Structure 1
């Protein structure tokens, strides 16, 4: 065997010895990177609000026009609070529950 082959064989033998003598869990675990906090938007576009409750854009504009869902105007933009969308959905569910109980 050449000198390089002897060195490689010795390294492989040493690596095998290290792998079999110490359990793999003893190796320090890599610390996971902290997850980026995603900020949920407070004000939604009518399209986002519609998607959140599973209705179409036209239906959402009708709900805004009839004041079933409150919205605000920022310049030329119309926005709906995410909490308002959640409250509207809760009112719908409660209304359906009351009708079913009657």
Structure 2
């Protein structure tokens, strides 16, 4: 009697969600205060001051305070229109 090995294991199921090329990903909606400060070329303290003044809208998720990129973009647009003044 010849030895016949068992059939190979079935393929492992993979996610049905298609993977996208990272270069085509959109910019995230939220940024940390450090990321927002880097984008604007200011300190983290300045980001806190802008949040306190209502110039940039914070987003709280758990214990984290994030900043929406849209809010940062709108702040830059306002500054551009007003010549850099509030």
Normalised to the residue count of structure 2, the TM-score between the two structures is 0.66
- May I ask how many residue pairs the two structures share in their alignment? 65
Normalised to the residue count of structure 1, the TM-score between the two structures is 0.57
Partner of 1:59: 46
Query: C-alpha offsets along residues 44-85 of structure 1, whole Å, 9 cap, x if unaligned?
Result: 011111111111111011101111111111110001110110
CA RMSD of aligned residues (A): 2.1
More helix by share: 1
Partner of 2:70: 83
Match status 1:72 vs 2:59:
yes
Kindly name which structure, 1 or 2, has the bigger radius of gyration based on alpha carbons: 1
Which ranges of structure 2 fall in alignment gaps of 5 or more residues? 1-19
